[in-house]
Amino acid sequence: MADIIHLLPEHVANQIAAGEVVQRPSSVVKELLENAIDADATEIKLIVKDAGKTLVQVIDNGKGMSVTDARLSFERHATSKIKAAEDLFQLNTKGFRGEALASIAAIAHVELKTKQLHQDLGTAIEIEGSEVKSQDVSVTPTGTSVAVKNLFFNIPARRNFLKSDTVELRHVTDEFHRVALAHPNIAFNFYHNGSELFNLPKENYRQRVVHIFGPKTNEKLVPVEEQTEVLKISGFVGKPEFSKKTKSEQFFFVNQRFVKSPYLNHAVNAAYEGLLKDRYHPSYFLNLTVDPKTIDINIHPTKTEIKFDDEHTLYAIIRSSIKHSLGQFNIAPVLDFEQQSQFNTPYGYRHRQASTPKIEVDRNFNPFKDENSHTLGQRQSSFRQGPTAKWESLYVGLESKEGDNLSQHNSDEFTFETQSKTHSIFSDDAVETSKTTFQLQQKYIVSTLKSGMLIIDQNRAHQRILYENFLKHMTLKEATTQQLLFPLHLNVTPSEMKIIRDLKSDLEDTGFVFTDFSKIEVTVTGVPIGVPESEVSIIIEQLISDVENDVPEANFSATDLLAKSMAKSLAIKNGQPLNNAEQEHMVNSLFACKDPSVSPTNRPTFITMAIDDLEKRFM
């Protein structure tokens, strides 16, 4: 029988490795930025086109590579970071596997230009699908430039799995944030399709956080500093009142490497116990420094997961450090009694000696002795002090004439001030109708049918109603706007601003009015009818999150996504009580929709239970 086991060709092995290392353009961005940092660069420039699908280029002013190193860097498991297996437990660099460039070159067109400091000329290499096309001498600045073009050009199936440009750009931006936050001592520039998104100079950690997430972030930060034999913590956490519904501002860095750790994230949430609203998440930017021997970062190809030797100790230290910082800056509630000013000792009496109070007693007083009232009144008056002694005299001279005159008036002439009647949004006829619905657990609306019983999920039903209304307004462009008395100024990041600009026309069709756009601030002067002013920032934040995470492809439009997001934000929540008129209005509005059976996210809005099913339950 012929042998069936054989070695894979080199280019096939590289493509398989690429499937682990390079999942999308953001993976290329991460690997190239980390290589530039390992090359001791102080200035790094990231250039992206079409969210990285067409071009990802990283230019640095690092050490550069020699001719031999430049050629070897594209070989599998070629690295300068480790020489023996023991080095895996003393890692102080970003890359060490030697798979990144080889994997990238297997699935893209790569152009490398590099030059060392004391060399006159550098090296230029072009590779397509692991095949070296050319290698020449080049005139190039000191450092390295790596341009990755046409990602997944030879694997169409992988390219088809990429999301829209907005989603992919969000992933690229996230990777850029993670690297830039971990290294505030390095200057970064980020360009997308020719426009500058970020220009970050060398700065301290607080300035780097504020530069990335906007000036308003500064007032939200609470510093955290702690140093023990096991762990050193530095960074910032957000104040509870600025918590968000998304986890977009949560960063853990271990030895200047971004990591994801649900266990340590739970430690942060435990420190905020009792301070956050339900389903809200705190912001944190924490740098952890530990002994490299106590961690293992080689458990995942992307190196974002990590293992600790003693997680329980780290959990306790992180939790107590954040609690201490929140309490130190008067963020957390403390058991304290407010001292009233009247209890303080006046300055003039501070050094006086306390005097013993004297009690005067009338030793001749005998309540059983028969005395005339005149003598008794004199004795009692001797103990009365001050102007209140004859308080009865204040009422002398008051006659009952006015009271007599008042009683002669007819009581019908008086009018009494009462509370103004608050009119319901529904007509009186609707309120007086017979009760055909009732609310169950402030979550479901129960109504009767000819054949049985109808149970409606009030949140999903309201989402469907609002969704179709928003779609109608955006399609016909006939939405009504209510002007705000005072404009709202919303602070956003540059990437979020780009999303708002892209959706501006659709948002205006729903009733929003924008008057001013800057790099990090948008001014809202009008909102759709029925949208409370306090909900505007939450709606915009939820909309941006939905666009970043679930942008529709060719089957849907941005209008559809916008309608879904706004319906989800404005729909009444479970737990909100509804009166009988509101319940009936909800039922009637739901069944007036084109598709009342499902919510905008394709979940059932109601169920029915037939009489036969009820009768079977009693058998």
The answer to whether 519 and 472 have CB atoms below 8 angstroms apart is no
Query: What is the mean predicted confidence (pLDDT) over 293-314?
Result: 72
Task: Give Cα separations from 376 to 58, 387, 508, 509 (angstroms).
Answer: 105, 20, 88, 90
Query: What is the mean predicted confidence (pLDDT) over 92-114?
Result: 78
Query: What is the mean predicted confidence (pLDDT) over 500-517?
Result: 80
Which 3 state secondary structure label does DSSP give 283? coil
Res. 434: pLDDT tops 90: no
The pLDDT assigned to 429 comes to: 43
Query: What is the mean predicted confidence (pLDDT) over 39-51?
Result: 92
Give the helix/strand (H/E) hosting 389. none
Domains and their CATH numbers in the chain: 10-200 (3.30.565.10), 207-328 (3.30.230.10), 437-608 (3.30.1370.100)
In sequence order, which residues have a C-beta less than 8 Å from that of residue 205 and are 6 or more positions away? Answer: 181, 184, 234, 235, 236, 285, 287
Q: Cα 578 to the chain's mean position, in Å?
A: 30
Q: Looking at the chain, how many residues does it have?
A: 619
Query: Among residues of the chain, what percentage have pLDDT more than 70?
Result: 76
Read off the tokens for 430. 């609707």
If one counts every other C-beta atom within 10 angstroms of the C-beta of residue 12, the result is 12
Tens digits of residue pLDDT in 355-374: 787 888 888 887 777 655 55
Q: Could you tell me which of 574, 540, 551 has the C-alpha nearest to residue 461?
A: 574
CA distance 110 to 486: 53
Query: Where is mean pLDDT largest: 117-131, 364-378, 426-440, 532-546?
Result: 117-131
Cα of first residue to Cα of last residue in the chain, in angstroms, is: 69
3-state secondary structure 101-135: HHHHHHCCEEEEEEECCCCCCEEEEEEECCEEEEE
Helix locations, 371-455, DSSP H: 373-381, 401-408, 428-431
The answer to whether 156 and 40 have CB atoms below 8 angstroms apart is no
The pLDDT assigned to 331 comes to: 64
- Residue scoring higher pLDDT (303 or 602): 602
Residue-by-residue DSSP string for 597-610:
TB-TTS-B-EEEEE
The pLDDT assigned to 424 comes to: 45
CA distance 603 to 570: 17
In sequence order, which residues have a C-beta less than 8 Å from that of residue 57 and are 6 or more positions away? Answer: 46, 47, 48, 145, 146, 147, 148
Res. 335: pLDDT tops 80: no
The pLDDT assigned to 448 comes to: 83
Read off the tokens for 342. 């009247």
The pLDDT assigned to 423 comes to: 45
The answer to whether 181 and 93 have CB atoms below 8 angstroms apart is no
The answer to whether 149 and 108 have CB atoms below 8 angstroms apart is yes
Residue with tokens 């949004």: 425
Using DSSP bridges, classify how beta strands 250-254 and 284-289 pair: parallel, antiparallel or unpaired. Answer: parallel
Query: Among residues of the chain, what percentage have pLDDT more than 90?
Result: 20
Res. 87: pLDDT tops 80: no
Tens digits of residue pLDDT in 123-136: 999 999 888 889 99
Q: Where residue 412 falls among pLDDT bands split at 50, 70, 90?
A: low
Tens digits of residue pLDDT in 139-187: 999 999 999 999 888 888 888 888 888 888 888 999 999 999 999 999 9
- Residue scoring higher pLDDT (55 or 100): 55
